Amino acid sequence: MTVRVQADTFDPGAELSDFANDRNDIGAVVSFTGVVRDDSGTLDRMEIEHYPGMTEKAISAIVDEATARWSLADCLVIHRYGPLLPGAQIMMVATAARHRVAAFEAAEFLMDYLKSRAPFWKKELQRDGSTGWVDAKVDDEDALTRWSR
C-alpha cells in the first residue's frame, strides 16, 4: 500500500504500469486520475495546501479501511499540493483485487473520501486576480453516505 503526497507531477501511465507489473495474484486493477478542471474558463491556477504528516496519516487510515473492507491486494494513492494549472493531475487512485467489483468499489470509496474528507484546502486563483476557497459540495458529501455501515 502506497500513499504519496507530493508537489511534483506524475505520469499516470507509468504509475499504473509499475503498480500492476508482475502481479499474478489479482484479477482486477482499477485506476482514476483527477485533473484540475476550469469550469469558468477563467482559472489561472489552483493552490492546494495541506499539513505534512497529518495528511499522509489521514489518507493512510482510509487506505487501511478500504484494504480491509474489500480485501485489496494493493492500493496506490497519490495526491499533489502546491500551485496546479488547469489540466494538471491532482490525484490518482489505483486498487488491485482478486475481483473487479472489489477493485471498483474500493477505488470509488477512496475517491469519495479524498474529495470530501482528506485534509486538503483548495484555493482557486482567477486570471482577473480574484481568489476563492473551494467549498465542499453537497453531491460530494452525499456520495459518502453510500459507504456508511
Predicted local confidence at residue 144, as pLDDT: 76
Specify whether the CB–CB gap between 63 and 3 falls below 8 A.
yes
pLDDT over 70 (residue 46): yes
pLDDT over 70 (residue 149): no
Residues 6+ apart with CB under 8 A from 134: 46, 122, 123, 124
Predicted local confidence at residue 30, as pLDDT: 97
3-state secondary structure of 102: helix
Predicted local confidence at residue 22, as pLDDT: 86
Over residues 7-36, mean pLDDT: 94
3-state secondary structure of 87: coil
Over residues 53-74, mean pLDDT: 96
123-142 tens-digit pLDDT: 999 999 898 888 777 776 77
Specify whether the CB–CB gap between 82 and 91 falls below 8 A.
no
Predicted local confidence at residue 51, as pLDDT: 92
Q: CB-based burial of residue 10 (10 Å sphere; 0-12 exposed, 13-18 middle, 19+ buried)?
A: middle
Q: What percent of the chain has pLDDT over 90?
A: 79
The span from the CA of 34 to the CA of 119, in Å, is 17
- Kind plus residue range of the DSSP H or E element containing 92: strand 89-97
The three cell numbers locating residue 124: 482557486
80-128 tens-digit pLDDT: 999 999 999 999 999 999 999 999 999 999 999 998 889 999 999 999 9
